[in-house]
Structure 1
Amino acid sequence: MKNLKDLQIVFMGTPEFAVASLDKLVQAGCNIVGVITAPDKPGGRGMELQQSDVKKYAVQHGLNVLQPEKLKNPEFLETLKALHADVQVVVAFRMLPEVVWNMPPMGTINVHGSLLPQYRGAAPINWAIINGEKETGVTTFKLQQEIDTGNILMQQSLAVGEDESVGEVHDRMKIAGADLLLKTMEALVAGNITEQVQDSTESSESEKAAAEKLLKHAPKIFTETCLINWAKPLEDVYNLIRGLSPYPAAFTFLDGKKMKVYKAVKIFTTPSIKPGEFETDKKTFLQFACTDGYISIKELQLEGKKKMTVEDFLRGYRWPA
């Protein structure tokens, strides 16, 4: 049996969340023979080419970087095959075709930000908080054809604070995910890990349908997801705000202008105004009514302006006559 440091590993990832896992493997002395990440894309005010967080890390550490436009490109597949990876690790990357994930003899391991089978999809941390979960976690599993359905290798639970934002949970989870990945790799090499099937093929169709009803999903976040519906209960609105902060941020409108909401507090007082209407002293508070209370905004960004506290905003805002 090989030692972990003898394994040839290809790592695939793009955002900051994935950097923690790549760094964990590098610090453990793993042999990273290739890093696959997204192509550079124009961005920022000057629309200059921007490198992914994973590429920046890989370049700094002298790792071999590949940035294919298409994962089925024959030239890329030949290059990938020539790396002779024993195993591939995927963290926050795009969907892989079977020809890629099925290439290494030990398969492809994915790190996912939920306790699978719950919250399969692109935005598991966001949706766990939007839905008011008190606990989430991270899962390592073997990639299969259907998204996030492969055999589970290991899991680690993570408590969610009542007032934590998705940014705060993300920062804790990327560390927990990196730690779990290393434990998973060590257990795989030692041969003392038992894969757990997520969806039993032996189950009847009625059993599968019943199990599916219990699952919560984590689809991609769209603009319409971020629009605050003030006609919902206070708790639901509050969870949406923290589940989208700091990115992409929940928003509403103030005097016809889009206003992103980053921080808020709940006020459990029966509103004297209709849901969606607001009250302010134009100095220290700005609060919007929900069905059963108020959301008092603490940090916001009006379109065309920078992010600021509500006090700074009210100090400089010109109210319509």
Structure 2
Amino acid sequence: MRIVFAGTPEVAVPSLRALHAAGHDIAAVVTRPDAPLGRKRVLTPSPVAAAAEDLGLTVIKAARLDAEATDRIAASRPQLAVVVAYGGLVREPLLSLPPHGWINLHFSLLPRWRGAAPVQRALIAGDRVTGAAVFRLVPELDAGDVYDELRYEVPVGATAGDVLSALSESGAELLTRVVAGIANGTAVATPQVGEPTHAAKLTIDDGLLDWAQPAQAVLDRFRGVTPEPGAHTLLDGARFKILTARSAGDEAPLRPGEVAPAASPAAKGAILVGTGSDPILVERVQPAGKPAMAAADWLRGARGAVVLGAGA
């Protein structure tokens, strides 16, 4: 098929490469404009833009799908348009432009977690099973009929980054099968069934850990906000980043936010932090204004007893 592909982050790259490898004619690739990255704020193409250029494809950089972007997409005469994490809404008349419409690879089992951050919200909520779905775009957010889906059991300790990486690969295969079905006329989409939940975009505040919650809830939030926007707590009123954390097993209770050395040889370099139930192990941290370091090294440099949290 002649396809327009819209996507921006790294998780969209496997889908673009898979559709290209399947022999489809990628008429144009729509992606967000170059963004400043790193300490020097160097303007850098999106991962999808870089992949498209590597494949020799036409790239349309647009912050939103306005009239100008619509005209450029229309000029490519697509039969079908595919979206994977583009980062913008598709509205009329663009929505009805391709004869076969627009389809979206979404990283959840719809209608659960419609919205911008489905994997992150699923992990924060403690979901142990998630997945991906390919559905037809309609004006209502993520509400279109579903062509196909896959289920994914979340590995113990997996972060949002880990889950997105896995789903980007398996989801690319799912998407390619759906596009093949649309091309040969066998694809059938069915309405979503169930109560929708909303996966709002994460903010820095979503990364704040509440040590008064049970250990599992603290770890669920940690995994859901890692690597972005990142987990943190407060220490002396400043943001104190928690870079790696895991279950500690059977350890003596600590007060919420209370810090103690980890005595187990298997926890070398880690510290224990109290929660509303059992302590958890924190392995790497980044204090404000300092580089990342082993949590035990940070604790050795701290003076006196340390309690992490909003009241610290």
**TM-score normalised by structure 1 residue count:** 0.87
Alignment of 1:162-173 (within 5 A): 162-173=156-167
Matched AA of 1:135: V
**In the alignment, which residue of structure 2 is the partner of 1:304?**
289
Matched AA of 2:158: E
Secondary structure class of the residue paired with 1:11: strand
Q: What is the CA deviation profile of residues 168-200 of structure 1, one whole-angstrom value per residue up to 9, with x for unaligned ones?
A: 11111000110001000111112112211126x
8 Å CA contact 1:257, 1:303 repeated in 2: yes
Out of 233, 248, 257, the position equivalent to 1:276 is 257
**In the alignment, which residue of structure 2 is the partner of 1:132?**
126
Q: How far apart are 1:273 and its partner, in Å?
A: 4.2
Q: What is the CA deviation profile of residues 132-182 of structure 1, one whole-angstrom value per residue up to 9, with x for unaligned ones?
A: 212111100000011110110010111111211111111110001100010
Structure 1 vs Structure 2: percent identity of aligned residues? 35
Tell me how large the CA RMSD over aligned residues is. Answer: 2.1
Secondary structure class of the residue paired with 1:98: coil
Out of 77, 82, 85, the position equivalent to 1:89 is 82
8 Å CA contact 2:254, 2:279 repeated in 1: no
**In the alignment, which residue of structure 1 is the partner of 2:70?**
77
Matched, 1:319 2:306: no
Q: Between 276-285 and 135-144, report the one with greater CA deviation.
A: 276-285
Q: How far apart are 1:312 and its partner, in Å?
A: 4.1
8 Å CA contact 2:270, 2:284 repeated in 1: no
8 Å CA contact 1:271, 1:290 repeated in 2: no
Q: How far apart are 1:234 and its partner, in Å?
A: 1.1
Secondary structure class of the residue paired with 1:262: strand
**TM-score normalised by structure 2 residue count:** 0.89
Matched AA of 1:239: D
**In the alignment, which residue of structure 2 is the partner of 1:11?**
5
Alpha carbons of structure 1 residues 281 and 142: separation in structure 2 relative to 1, 3 Å: closer
Matched AA of 2:291: K
**In the alignment, which residue of structure 2 is the partner of 1:230?**
211
Q: Between 253-262 and 274-283, report the one with greater CA deviation.
A: 274-283
**Aligned partners of 2:283 and 2:142: how far apart in 1?**
37
8 Å CA contact 2:130, 2:152 repeated in 1: yes
Alignment of 1:1-321 (within 5 A): 7-73=1-67, 75-93=68-86, 94-198=88-192, 211-212=194-195, 215-267=196-248, 272-280=253-261, 284-314=269-299, 317-319=301-303
Q: How far apart are 1:305 and its partner, in Å?
A: 2.3
Q: How far apart are 1:101 and its partner, in Å?
A: 2.1
The total of aligned residue pairs comes to 300
Q: How far apart are 1:17 and its partner, in Å?
A: 0.5
**Aligned partners of 1:309 and 1:27: how far apart in 2?**
43
Q: Which aligned segments of 4 or more residues in structure 1 are displaced greater than 6 angstroms?
A: none
**Aligned partners of 2:197 and 2:65: how far apart in 1?**
29
Q: How far apart are 1:270 and its partner, in Å?
A: 7.6
8 Å CA contact 1:42, 1:49 repeated in 2: yes
